[in-house]
Chains A and B, each alone.
Chain A
Amino acid sequence: MARVNLQIDGRAVNVPEGGNVLEAARQAGIDIPRLCYSPDMPPNSACRLCVVEVDGAGTLVASCSAQAVDNMVVRTDTERVTRARKIVLELLLSDHPAECVEGGNGAICDLEVYARQFGLTGTPYEGERHDYPLDESSPFFTVDLNSCILCGRCVTACNHIQHIGAIELSFRGFDTKVSTAFDEPLINSICTSCGQCLSVCPTDAIRLKTPAENVVKSVTTTCPYCGIGCGIRAQVDDNGRIVEMLDDPDNPSSVGMLCVKGRFGYTFVHHEDRLTTPLIRRNGELQPATWDEALDYAAEGLAKFRGDAFGALCSAKTTNEDGYVQQKMARLVMQTNNVDHCARLCHAPSVTAMMAALGSGATSNSYVDYEEAGCLVIVGSDPSSNHPVAASRMRKAIVERGARLIVINPRRIDICDLADVWLRPNPGTDVALLNAMAKVILDEDLADRDFVEGRTEGFQEWRDVVDGYDLQRAEEVTGVPADDIALAARIYAGPPFSGSCLIWGMGITQHTQGTANAHSLLNLALVAGQIGKPGSGISPLRGQNNVQGCGDAGCLPNLFPGYAPIDDKTLSRFSAAWSGHPLPSEKGLMLTHMVDEMLTGGIKAVYVVGENPLLSEPDLHHAEKAFKSLDFLAVQDIFLHETAQIADVVLPATTFAEKDGTFTNSERRVQRVRTAIEPVGESRPDWRIISELARRIGEKLDLGVEKDFDYSHPSQIFDEMASLIPVLAGISYDRLDSEGGIQWPCPTPDHPGTRFLYEDDFPRGPRARLVPFEQGPQAQELPSTRFPLMLSTGRLLYHWHGGTMTRRSPGLMARSPELEVAISPRDGEKFGVADGEWIRVKSRRGELEARAVHTDRMRQGEIFVPFVKLQDHAANFLTNAVYDPSAGIPEYKVCAVSIERAEESVEVLAPAT
């Protein structure tokens, strides 16, 4: 990059071209005061504190927005500059709480700092001061405009970082203020409480309701919520409690952003419900026990069922190391491949299809590819709710760079507002829709011929199937206008610039046709050649923080760590690494099949870590019956949730905040999890508990595996994984600590990591496979006279999955206190259910009660229930336990239900203030 030479206060400065004068001065060791400028935001030039004199310029110049150019002569210390800055400070102080300078009100205020620096104790400018009422409507922070200096940072954060657009500067002149649309309280606006405004406010105009005090350390770690993998910095006080969570501008996945859960949802860590001691069921009741007692009890209970009567449920919420040790225990100690985790319930079809078509089950690209893409296709995913930070990056691409957006979703989700094309298919008709799009691409010669010819196989067989899906047929089956389908196909195959990204979620996978749907998406990417180059790629967005890592670590019944197929080569490789012990060679059972096998007696003992199947399984009555029929159930978790409550032994684990390890996010980035606080109570990190349990079982059965579980730190576990999983081979804790997260594949210690996959070939070989599918039946269960509505489930912004963690965050609960069923107003009328009325929703399997909300987001005949459990009501009492034949995923997205008015029987929590 070209550099420029300029002179600042007589010093020669050489800086890269394109930077601003303020940064150039900083490089020369000159600190220019500023209030509105922040290095990670576009300059606003509003506060006028950073003005400098530039030779040749008539007026003073704001150094934050003035570009450093060759031969520029800048003075930052003249009398004129100092006078202007002083006057600016005095003016700002003239409409700012006086106590700020007179001694400080305890809050951090940059204006106060600069006032002191300039020796100001007050202002000569008397006059009108604003007296705004506080906006206390957010459960997390207070907005006090009396301290606001109108620097505009919050507005920039909301509009140009998060791209939410909830706040703007309204009115003008002295009346200018930060406000929502129509100056409503924040809570009534489209604000998502992400707190980005809070994080950038230089005064205390936007401040935490509970201020973080006595912070003694800041620990950089990784967010425990969704699969985006945002960087967080836990602020720990002198009592060893996390008192604030900050974003991490250096994290390349989140680039300084956080969502409401990431920033404010950490409070579950210190919740009084945390399990602090092991529990053993004695006389039918769970009673406290010592670790020794509990571990022995668990070892005893599980040892009896060594072999295929045992099943291990791993967790996509724990670390890579935790998952790796648990699958190792199942395979090595318990001699079974009955290992699975909750990805079975989310992206199993994506992984199954990707393994078949490409040879790897990972997201091929990075979030930065969304930002660079010319077209984004979001299918069956509501990123604004489920992956808020990724959604912000998508909005950036659309709003700032002009990328086209195609949304495919039966529901009118938030991001539809930005869509160029919104396709609204009938649920369960994705194969027909995607095949028809592919046919348009073929018919209109939009396919990437070189890619198809050079890098795919199975084209003709696939084409024979796709040719049957003309637009007319597709319109009939999907309900989407033919022209819209064709338009979407054309944009996807020929984006205005760069490439196209395919992004999908549970709307694709949670169907009995999930694998077919996923294949149809992959076929589309392959025929258009939208993979293996920047700005393109395929992204199954991961719902949990470590879904990718859990799979990588081998928590799968059919694959060993690193997606190694269960064959002789793999078995001997792992056996050799694991002290030469024999390993089970039969594929294990998938999670959903394990549940079924519990009822038939095939599975007798289960070790559940960090999962709550009695909330996450479909048809909960069925699941409960299955788990209750087990001979032995060991549950390891942080709360005594529904599954733990029926366990024989409960082992208290630490949260992410109390342990070391790694998470691997949705863009294959391996990131460090670091101990911020001491374990709560007697809780222990999962890897330690599992290792201890494995050793004890080994001892009891005299297996000689103690050495295989002799870990003193998770880095040892990671090193073992890296030695067995080629794509992780070049990654180590040392590198992660010094360089930050690294994206696999990273085969060698000097490899920088990989932003996108498949540039030259595929893990399965030089060619990817086009796998044809016909449109099958829409769903296993369709509306009938008795159950006339189609139910779909999904998530909410303010809750995470079943809500075990988010329900224990008062702020999140305040934003979403009760279960709401979204119905179309016309269905409300049809079924006699008014907006806001308490209703009962029934399916063939169960019922729930919740509040009906009329919304035009829903189409007539379809209703939506989030699957969080609130006031003992959960969507999975209704859902249908039928599975995709190859991936085993349940059909959460479609079942038939009825609705009726109900008496309001549940005490609703008042929102926290």
Chain B
Amino acid sequence: MLQIGSVAGLEKVRQEIIAKRDPDKPCVSVCHGTGCQAYASEKVASAFEQELKEHGLESRVDVKRTGCHGFCESGPLIVIQPEESCYVGVQPKDVPAIISETIMNGEVIQRLLHVDPSTKEKVARESDIPFYKYQTRQVFGNNSKIDPRSIEDYLALGGYSALTKALIIMTPLEVLEEVKNANLRGRGGGGFPAGRKWEFCRNASGDTKYVIVNADEGDPGAYMDRSLLEGNPHSVLEGLVLGAYAIGASQGYFYVRQEYPLAVENIRHAIEQAHEHGLLGKDILGSGFDLEVGVHRGAGAFVAGEETGLIAALEGKAGEPQQRPPYPAVSGLWGKPTNINNVETWANVPLIIDKGADWYSSIGTEGSKGTKIFSLVGKVNNTGLVEVPMGISLRDIIYKIGGGIPNGKRFKAVQTGGPSGGCIPEEIIDLLVDFDELKKAGSMMGSGGMIVMDEDTCMVDVARYFLEFLTEESCGKCASCRLGTKRLLEILTRITEGEGREGDIELLTELSGGVKDASLCGLGQTAPNPVLSTLRYFRDEYVEHIENRRCPAGVCKNLINFYIDPELCQACLICMRQCPGGAIDGSKNVIHIIDQDKCTKCHVCFDVCPHRFDAVRVISGEPVPTPIAEDKRVLVRAKGKK
């Protein structure tokens, strides 16, 4: 590939690519996100290629391995263009039928369609699927349309036109102003205005400046950055180049989690291609602007996603945060002014430059503009990555996009913002999601994780669970976080174990305040959020645990017992056979009883007891009824029920 030395040259290449493409030519997009790959989507893609070849159709139908489409719940996903037919859960054995029926004859295969869990209706077009229908996929949307290894795909969709626009008609300052006017806030969690951050760095003294893409997505439940980097690496790279241009940086880095090998591969590939197209390196597109970009693999610490921790890790030191100020914008990597934004933030930049700040800021709320990608997981029907405009209600996300709560359970809370986010209860489910509203509610935007919880969730246990994660991930440098998270965890643990004491709630409240106030970095400063938000909305659950030794949700093992209701037990042997501890006594026609001394409270009996019987009960806060007398255990079946 020849270096393209000018903007005009790039536009020419783009037109050539577009000219070669026939919009009516059928194209099968096979999702190659990590989720679908885990479902063996590669086998599906190969099966398409092989089958097409066998039918001599390889030149008439394209097969494209794309990035993550978002609807990970239903993978492997395929979308057939131009009809936009979407099939879910596709297996290699389905491929011949898809080719012969759908591609050759335009017929829809009903069994491969998505079924809306609420209406039970089948949906054929991707954009008609409620999961997609209520999203606004402006950052994430191209993921399903391009092969992340193909710069041509990106260019064909108008990729790098923001960069060419900036280089031809905008000064760096104008680029900066545009981003400022768009009021783009950092998607990494803090929500700090990206434009202002850039401005600090641009104005900091020093000739050498760095720009960094933070792809150390540490929240185990969030993966939008991964999917963007894996699925549309050029969009992030284009954002980075624009930022470097605005700031005056000549070196950029991608700091990518070790756990994201595909992201590393794809971004490296993208950097190489961008170099070949004159979009990186010296004198980018003849503009005189230079930028080199490197990729650094992280070493696996949650806290290395904190920007000063990330810089330390990038410098080869232990990834421990440093006190700010000085902020990286003044003294960052190697002591030079450095601007760090996360993947999603950078990916927003080309949109802003391309379509303008006015357009961008028309989406969203007063204080939060544009869209946000969430990873919607937990007790919700449709899980996956969803991109929504700022200001959408939690209810819409959970019910319209997520399809509501499975198994007819009641919604209890949604945890947002990653491990150190907060839990939002049903009362305020109509909250309009943006940076400020979430914060007001005691949670945060954070990583964009969104975990839906149903009535079977114990909120004290949830707090304990997240504190356990944070205690593990505390780097240990500062006393308040190192010891504070540990002590919070210990108090929560004792409460969930039925050892809670009077005064524990006050102690938790005071300690949480101290840890928030005194800790060095964002990890410690937000670590008490799970405690504080559950105390705020579910204080009664704490009280129940401590005062009545009762876990209302029936989760905390030390506080619950399983009991088989002799009135309901049908002596079917199912629970007895599956009990791993051999704690259930009974036989055919002999009502089952649980030996409480042997019971490990694994929950299996409860789960396997047929719904039509519902004989197993969780008892908490009250004594377990005395087992039914031996002589009454023989089951007398009602007549006709046999």
Footprint of B on A, CB under 8 Å?
43-49, 51, 59-62, 65-67, 80, 83-88, 91-92, 94-95, 124-128, 149-150, 152, 168-169, 171-176
Contact B479 A46 (CB under 8 A): yes
Q: Which of B475, B480, B507, B511 is the one whose CB lies under 8 Å from A48?
A: B480
Which residue of chain B lies nearest to A43 when distances are taken between CB atoms in the complex? Answer: B323
Q: Which residues from chain B contact A44 at a C-beta distance below 8 Å?
A: 477
Within B511-557, the residues touching A (CB, 8 Å) are: 511, 513-520, 525
Contacts of A149 in B (CB 8 A): 479
How many angstroms between the C-alpha atoms of A126 and B483 in the bound complex? 11
B474 and A46 within 8 A (CB):
no
Residues of A within 8 A of B485 (CB): 173
> Is the C-beta of B272 less than 8 angstroms from some C-beta in chain A?
no
B483 close to A91 (CB less than 8 A): yes
Our pick among B326, B479, B490 for the contact of A67 (Cβ within 8 Å) is: B326
B479 near A48 (CB under 8 angstroms)?
yes
Q: A87-B510, A87-B511, A91-B514 are in contact. List 11 more A-B contacts (CB 8 A).
A: A43-B323, A45-B477, A48-B480, A48-B519, A59-B517, A60-B518, A84-B480, A94-B483, A126-B490, A150-B482, A152-B477
Q: Which residues of B contact A49 (CB under 8 A)?
A: 479
Given A46-B477, A87-B518, A174-B474, decide whether A62 and B323 contact each other with a Cβ distance below 8 A: yes
> What residue in chain B is nearest A176 (Cβ atoms)?
B476
Q: Are B486 and A48 in contact (CB under 8 A)?
A: no
What CA separation (Å) do A173 and B482 show in the bound complex?
5
C-alpha spacing A289/B431, complex, angstroms: 100
Which chain A positions have C-beta within 8 A of B121? none
A175 to B480 CA separation, bound complex (whole angstroms): 14
What string of 1s and 0s marks CB contacts (under 8 Å) between B439-476 and chain A? 00000000000000000000000000000000111111
Residue of B nearest to A168 (CB): B318
Contact bitstring B84-123, A, C-beta under 8 A = 1, else 0: 0000000000000000000000000000000000000000
The 9 tightest CB contacts between A and B, nearest first, are A176-B476, A87-B514, A45-B323, A91-B483, A127-B490, A65-B323, A84-B518, A173-B474, A48-B518
Q: Count contacts between A and B, CB distance < 8 Å.
A: 118
Tell yes or no: B478 within 8 A of A by CB.
yes
Counting chain A CB atoms within 10 Å of each CB, the highest count among B326, B478, B479 belongs to B479
Residue of A65, A83, A86, A169 touching B476 (CB-CB under 8 A): A169
How many residues of B are in contact with the other chain, CB < 8 A?
A: 35
Complex CA–CA separation, A84 to B514 (angstroms): 5
Is B487's CB within 8 Å of the partner chain A? yes
Chain B residues within 8 Å of A80, by CB: 517
Q: Is the CB of A59 within 8 A of B479?
A: no
Q: Is B301 interfacial (CB 8 A cutoff)?
A: yes
A94 touches B487 (CB 8 A): yes
30 residue pairs of the A-B complex, CB under 8 angstroms, read A46-B478, A48-B479, A49-B479, A51-B517, A51-B518, A59-B525, A61-B323, A67-B326, A84-B480, A84-B514, A84-B518, A88-B514, A91-B479, A91-B480, A94-B483, A95-B483, A124-B507, A127-B486, A128-B490, A150-B482, A169-B476, A172-B473, A172-B475, A172-B476, A174-B471, A174-B474, A174-B483, A174-B486, A176-B475, A176-B477
Asked if B325 CB lies within 8 Å of chain A CBs, one says yes
Beta-carbon contact of A47 and B479 below 8 Å: yes
Nearest CB of chain A from residue B535's CB, rounded to whole Å: 17
Smallest CB–CB gap between B148 and chain A, Å? Answer: 34
With A127-B486, A127-B487, A172-B301 as given contacts, are A92 and B322 in contact (CB-CB < 8 Å)? no
Whether B231 sits at the interface, judged by CB under 8 Å, is no
Q: Does A91 lie within 8 Å of B517, measured CB to CB?
A: no
Chain A residue with the shortest CB-CB distance to B321: A45
Residues of B within 8 A of A128 (CB): 486, 490
Q: Which A residues are in CB contact (< 8 Å) with B472?
A: 173
Q: Is B484 among interface residues, defined by CB-CB distance under 8 A? A: yes
Q: Are B482 and A174 in contact (CB under 8 A)?
A: yes
From B524, which residue of chain A is reached at the shortest CB distance? A48
Task: State the CA gap A128–B472 with chains docked (Å).
Answer: 15
CB distance B323 to A88 under 8 Å? Answer: no
A222 CB, min distance to chain B CBs, angstroms: 37
Contacts of B486 in A (CB 8 A): 127-128, 173-174
Q: Which residues of A contact B479 (CB under 8 A)?
A: 46-49, 88, 91-92, 149-150
Expressed in whole angstroms, the minimum distance between the Cβ of A61 and any Cβ of chain B is 8
The interface residues of chain B lying within 8 Å CB-to-CB of A88 are: 479-480, 514, 518
Known: A125-B487, A174-B483. A62 touches B476 (CB 8 A): no
Q: Is the CB of B513 within 8 A of A83?
A: yes
Pair A66/B323 contact, Cβ less than 8 Å: yes
Q: Which residues of chain B come closer than 8 Å to A85, judged between CB atoms?
A: 518
Report Cα–Cα, A88/B301, bound state, in Å. Answer: 24
How far apart are the CA atoms of A84 and B474 in the complex, in Å?
19
Q: Are A173 and B484 in contact (CB under 8 A)?
A: no
Across-interface contacts of A176 in B (CB, < 8 A): 475-477, 482
Minimum distance in angstroms from B218 CB to a CB of chain A: 13
Give the residues in chain B near A65, CB-CB below 8 Å: 323
Which of A66, A86, A127 has the most B CB atoms < 10 Å from its CB? A127
Shortest CB-to-CB span from A602 to chain B, Å, is 65
**Are B476 and A174 in contact (CB-based, < 8 A)?**
yes
Q: Complex formed: what's the CA distance from A87 to B508 in Å?
A: 12
**A83→B513 CA distance, assembly (Å):** 9
Cα-based distance from A48 to B507 in the complex (angstroms): 20
Distance (whole angstroms) from the CB of A294 to the closest CB of chain B? 63
Scan residues 551-600 of chain B and give those whose CB is less than 8 A from a CB of chain A.
Answer: none
Chain A residues positioned under 8 Å from B490 (CB to CB): 125-128
Nearest-CB distance from A503 to chain B (Å)?
Answer: 28
Residue of A nearest to B480 (CB): A48
Q: Are A171 and B487 in contact (CB under 8 A)?
A: no
A169–B476 Cα distance when bound, in Å, is: 9
| Contact partners of A173 in chain B: CB under 8 A | 471-476, 482, 485-486
Q: Give the complex CA separation of A112 and B275 in angstroms.
A: 61
Find chain A residues with CB under 8 A from B517 CB: 51, 59-60, 80, 83-84
